């Protein structure tokens, strides 16, 4: 599980909604939840309890999105719409349209009836729903027949050929239009009452049911009272509005805006054929001081065009200025009439509120993310200053590490954090020049001496010229130095610094129990494992280690190839250096064709062919780099092949990867391997 996924899981809201599981940008599963925080977390925290299919799905998840709604039923219907739209791999066999029944009324009939339908068709009839299941639909239909005695049979009605009334008429649940017992006008009045109920006006029906229940209870007819009680519960189950779907086939966009600090957040929800099918969120940088209406106007004018054709209806959270002109312009772009509305009640208003709810959730996540980032950077620096007893938080922190193989090709790394954030362009590599063999103490003394000497010299030059010290390569001196190692390395670094007349705070980090080692003291500090200060210095230490290791591997590989080039006829020090300079990395030289090797300046074709044969004979025979046991002679022989520079090479390294975190991790990247050294 990646860090971004962990952060999203930790900041899920306790709200109903839908979640979209993703793998490499593709939606692989859509689900609904009454409580997103509990439901989504179960996928990752109860892994062993899952079925094999769910475990296979969870292994592929690298990201997820959520869409918040007002209630459980909305989440249910939105899930249905999203599945139909995206057809996720892990949903296809689990969902079916039959799970979402409707109530259908065909008003073109003389005596329309109320019936259950499994899908919505374009047949001119009115549809209500979908509902959570056929049981609820049948209970609702039963309530309607109890209050409004409409027919439920499919017989064709012929006024000139009346039929004998059925038992439904005899028990008072049908007006018997088939027998000519009711006129069209009277029947339509009852039908209008039923349609009002299906449109959300439940009060008359609830009042009638409660009155009948009370009457039955008064007469001690408790069985009948229980029946009415169940009918009342069925009606109340429908009171949960279904803003995730309506059945008027409307196409509309819902746009809401929310100010957040210096920026503005805009939520755009798409409703097509009455279904909420998706949403997008936009951040408008620097728009936090602009009026909400002006933001919406500018957003619509910039968003809608040939690629994003506006629908017939756009719902806004705030009235937009010059709305008539915007409507006219969008109508011209769309080729049909576009209406812009700012609803204040009803289902459309509820849709706008859903968009605002999603924006508020996003704003809270941004605030938490910023707070978490500050705690890991500036907050961690402030905590570290308190731990070390510094007068003020250090702005620039530098970390140092030494890497070598049995003392050969010894290199050092300098990595930098400014205000708790890695400053990759400030990284430096150093080739150890004065120390023979594996002597980390002397190597650290040399590195600190060279780094601070360069800094003092350049600082004096820039001050004499009236320039900002922070603009130089070395003149921006550190406020705090981290030495990767224990008391020996720290003491050597301290001696080097004091010899130059500097007194920069310095400490070491010993790997055994991750303890902070203080200079010239037997005391050490062990921080809480959850401490942001500890995490900060661990990141700095690991980055210094990675940067040194990758550069050392690059030099080692180059030296190995360089030593083999010495055995090729016609290759001397000048041509060897020209070959390595031309290809820059060992990998590039090994992968080069004969024609590419011939492009090296000053290299004859015959010598290029000999180099090509040497490289490919080596690969065919399975020979690789010199082993650790006998490599030192080869390394020493080829050490001079790497370019040697008077100044230290600046780095632009990326963040440390897990494979680079320890000794013996993956091979050096070309960007690391090709850097020069001091």
Number of domains in the chain: 5
Give the CB-side neighbour count of residue 480, counting CA atoms within 13 A: 26
Q: What SS3 class is residue 409?
A: strand
State the angle between helix axes of 134-147 and 184-198 in degrees (0 to 180), rounded to the nearest 10: 140
340 vs 307: which has the higher pLDDT = 340
Convert the pLDDT of each residue in 123-139 to its tens digit.
778 877 666 567 767 77
β strands within 501-578, DSSP E? 506-510, 515-517, 524-525
Question: 24 lies in a domain?
Answer: yes
Distances from the Cα of 554 to the Cαs of 230, 456, 660, in angstroms?
77, 30, 13
CATH value at residue 497: 3.30.420.340
Residue 238 has pLDDT above 70, yes or no: no
Verify that 629 and 558 share a domain, yes or no. Answer: yes
Residue 406 has pLDDT above 80, yes or no: no
**339, 251 Cβ separation under 8 angstroms:** no
Q: Which residue has the tokens 């494979």?
A: 659
Question: 12 lies in a domain?
Answer: yes
Residue 313 has pLDDT above 80, yes or no: yes
Distance (Å, whole) CA 419 – CA 652:
18
What is the average per-residue pLDDT within 302-330? 87
Q: What is the pLDDT of residue 237?
A: 65
Residue numbers of the domain that contains 616: 553-673
Q: Which residue has the tokens 């062993």?
A: 48
**480, 518 Cβ separation under 8 angstroms:** no
Give 96's pLDDT tier (boundaries 50, 70, 90): very low
Give 585's pLDDT tier (boundaries 50, 70, 90): low
Whole-model pTM?
0.52
CATH value at residue 47: 3.40.1440.10
Closest CA to 25 of 57, 60, 56, 59: 60
Distances from the Cα of 79 to the Cαs of 2, 276, 362, 396, 579, in angstroms?
26, 10, 20, 50, 61
Verify that 399 and 539 share a domain, yes or no. Answer: yes
Distance (Å, whole) CA 298 – CA 243:
27
Verify that 563 and 536 share a domain, yes or no. Answer: no
CATH value at residue 607: 1.10.150.20
Question: 380 lies in a domain?
Answer: no
**478, 396 Cβ separation under 8 angstroms:** yes
Residue 118 has pLDDT above 70, yes or no: yes
Least confident of 267-271, 335-339, 431-435, 488-492: 431-435
Give 630's pLDDT tier (boundaries 50, 70, 90): very low
Which of 512, 531, 548 lies at the terminal end of a domain, its last residue? 548
Which of 176, 202, 237 lies at the terminal end of a domain, its last residue? 237
Residue 645 has pLDDT above 60, yes or no: no
Verify that 313 and 359 share a domain, yes or no. Answer: yes
What is the average per-residue pLDDT within 218-246? 72
Question: 660 lies in a domain?
Answer: yes
Query: Could you tell me the two tokens for 403?
Result: 């890497």
Q: What is the pLDDT of residue 551?
A: 64
Verify that 210 and 264 share a domain, yes or no. Answer: no
Distance (Å, whole) CA 240 – CA 130:
12
Q: What is the pLDDT of residue 629?
A: 33
Verify that 453 and 566 share a domain, yes or no. Answer: no
- CB neighbour list of residue 427: distance below 8 Å, 6 or more residues apart: 413, 414, 415, 416, 547, 650, 651, 652, 653
Most confident of the ranges 56-60, 230-234, 433-437: 56-60
Convert the pLDDT of each residue in 341-373 to its tens digit.
999 988 889 889 989 999 999 899 888 888 888
Verify that 257 and 369 share a domain, yes or no. Answer: yes
What is the average per-residue pLDDT within 194-209? 78
Question: 190 lies in a domain?
Answer: yes
Residue 2 has pLDDT above 70, yes or no: yes
What is the average per-residue pLDDT within 573-586? 76
**61, 5 Cβ separation under 8 angstroms:** yes
Verify that 67 and 158 share a domain, yes or no. Answer: no
Verify that 400 and 287 share a domain, yes or no. Answer: no
What is the average per-residue pLDDT within 575-591? 75
Residue 69 has pLDDT above 50, yes or no: yes
Q: What is the pLDDT of residue 369?
A: 85
Question: 183 lies in a domain?
Answer: yes
Distance (Å, whole) CA 270 – CA 351:
10
Rg of the chain taking only CA atoms, in angstroms: 38
What is the average per-residue pLDDT within 67-86? 76
Q: What is the pLDDT of residue 153?
A: 86
Q: What is the pLDDT of residue 617?
A: 64
Q: What SS3 class is residue 342?
A: coil
Convert the pLDDT of each residue in 40-49 to its tens digit.
988 888 767 7
Torsion over CA: 611, 616, 622, 625 (sign): positive
Residue 99 has pLDDT above 70, yes or no: no
Convert the pLDDT of each residue in 376-393 to its tens digit.
899 999 999 999 999 999
Most confident of the ranges 70-79, 90-99, 256-265: 256-265
Quote the percentage of the chain above a pLDDT of 70: 81
Which of 325, 347, 373 lies at the terminal end of a domain, its last residue? 373
Q: What is the pLDDT of residue 507?
A: 93
Residue 451 has pLDDT above 70, yes or no: yes
| ∠ Cα 571 573 576 (to 5°) | 60
Verify that 524 and 493 share a domain, yes or no. Answer: yes
| ∠ Cα 505 508 509 (to 5°) | 140
Residue 556 has pLDDT above 70, yes or no: no
What is the average per-residue pLDDT within 247-272? 86
Give 663's pLDDT tier (boundaries 50, 70, 90): very low
CATH value at residue 261: 3.30.420.10
What is the average per-residue pLDDT within 568-593? 76
Question: 378 lies in a domain?
Answer: no
Specify the DSSP class assigned to residue 644. Answer: B
Question: 150 lies in a domain?
Answer: yes
Verify that 72 and 111 share a domain, yes or no. Answer: no
Give 621's pLDDT tier (boundaries 50, 70, 90): very low
What's the chain's average pLDDT? 79
Verify that 480 and 396 share a domain, yes or no. Answer: yes
Closest CA to 167 of 153, 188, 180: 153
Residues in the chain: 678
Least confident of 26-40, 228-242, 578-592: 228-242
């Amino acid at each position: 599980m990646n860090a971004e996924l962990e952060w999203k899981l930790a900041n899920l809201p306790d709200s109903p909604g839908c979640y979209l599981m993703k793998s490499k940008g593709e939606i692989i599963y859509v689900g609904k939840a009454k409580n997103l925080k509990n439901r989504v977390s179960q996928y990752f925290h109860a892994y062993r309890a899952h079925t094999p299919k769910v475990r296979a799905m969870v292994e592929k998840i690298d990201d997820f999105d959520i869409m918040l709604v007002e209630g459980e039923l909305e989440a249910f219907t939105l899930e249905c719409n999203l599945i139909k739209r995206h057809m996720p791999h892990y949903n296809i066999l689990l969902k079916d349209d039959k799970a979402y029944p409707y109530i259908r009324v065909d008003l073109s009939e003389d005596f329309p009836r109320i019936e259950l339908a499994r899908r919505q068709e374009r047949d001119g009839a009115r549809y209500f729903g979908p509902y959570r299941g056929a049981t609820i639909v049948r209970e609702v239909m039963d309530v309607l027949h109890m209050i409004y005695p409409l027919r439920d049979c499919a017989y064709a009605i012929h006024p000139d050929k009346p039929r004998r009334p059925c038992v439904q008429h005899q028990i008072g649940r049908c007006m018997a239009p088939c027998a000519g017992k009711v006129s069209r006008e009277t029947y339509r009045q009852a039908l209008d009452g039923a349609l009002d109920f299906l449109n959300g006006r439940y009060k008359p029906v609830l009042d009638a049911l409660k009155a009948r229940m009370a009457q039955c209870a008064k007469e001690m007819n408790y069985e009948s009272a229980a029946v009415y009680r169940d009918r009342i519960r069925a009606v109340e189950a429908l009171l949960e509005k279904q803003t995730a779907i309506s059945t008027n086939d409307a196409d509309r966009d819902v746009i809401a805006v929310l100010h957040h600090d210096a920026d503005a957040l805009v939520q755009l929800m798409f409703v097509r054929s009455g279904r909420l099918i998706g949403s997008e969120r936009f951040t408008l940088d620097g728009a936090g001081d602009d009026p909400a209406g002006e933001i919406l106007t500018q957003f619509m004018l910039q968003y809608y065009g040939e690629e994003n054709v506006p629908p017939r209806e756009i719902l806004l959270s705030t009235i937009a200025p010059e709305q008539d002109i915007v409507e006219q312009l969008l109508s011209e772009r769309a080729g049909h009439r576009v209406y812009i509305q700012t609803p204040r009640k009803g289902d459309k208003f509820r849709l706008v509120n859903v968009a605002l709810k999603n924006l508020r959730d996003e704003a809270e996540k941004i605030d938490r993310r910023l707070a978490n980032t500050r705690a890991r950077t500036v907050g961690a620096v402030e905590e570290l200053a308190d731990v070390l007893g510094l007068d003020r938080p250090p702005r620039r922190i530098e970390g140092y590490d030494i890497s070598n193989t049995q003392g050969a090709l010894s290199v050092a790394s300098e990595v930098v954090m400014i205000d708790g954030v890695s400053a990759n362009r400030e990284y430096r590599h150093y080739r150890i020049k004065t120390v023979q063999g594996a002597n980390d103490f002397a190597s650290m003394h040399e590195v600190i001496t060279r780094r601070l000497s360069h800094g003092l010299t350049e600082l004096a030059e820039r001050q004499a010229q009236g320039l900002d010290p922070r603009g130089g390569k070395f003149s921006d001196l550190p406020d705090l130095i981290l030495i990767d190692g224990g008391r020996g390395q720290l003491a050597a670094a301290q001696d080097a610094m004091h010899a130059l007349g500097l007194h920069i705070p310095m400490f070491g980090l010993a790997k055994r129990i991750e303890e902070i080692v203080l200079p010239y003291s037997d005391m050490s500090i062990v921080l809480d494992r959850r401490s942001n200060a500890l995490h900060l210095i661990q990141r700095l230490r690991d980055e210094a280690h990675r940067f040194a290791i990758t550069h050392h591997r690059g030099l080692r590989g180059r030296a190995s190839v360089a030593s083999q080039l010495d055995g090729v006829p016609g290759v001397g020090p000048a041509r060897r250096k020209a070959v390595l300079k031309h290809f820059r990395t060992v990998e590039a030289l090994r992968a080069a064709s004969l024609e590419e090797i011939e492009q090296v300046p000053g290299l004859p074709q015959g010598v290029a062919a000999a180099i090509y044969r040497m490289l490919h004979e080596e690969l065919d025979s399975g020979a690789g780099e010199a082993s650790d046991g006998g490599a030192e002679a080869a390394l020493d022989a080829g050490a001079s092949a790497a370019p040697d520079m008077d100044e230290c090479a600046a780095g632009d390294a990326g963040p440390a990867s897990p494979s680079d975190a320890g000794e013996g991790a993956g091979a050096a990247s070309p960007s690391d391997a090709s850097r020069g050294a001091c």
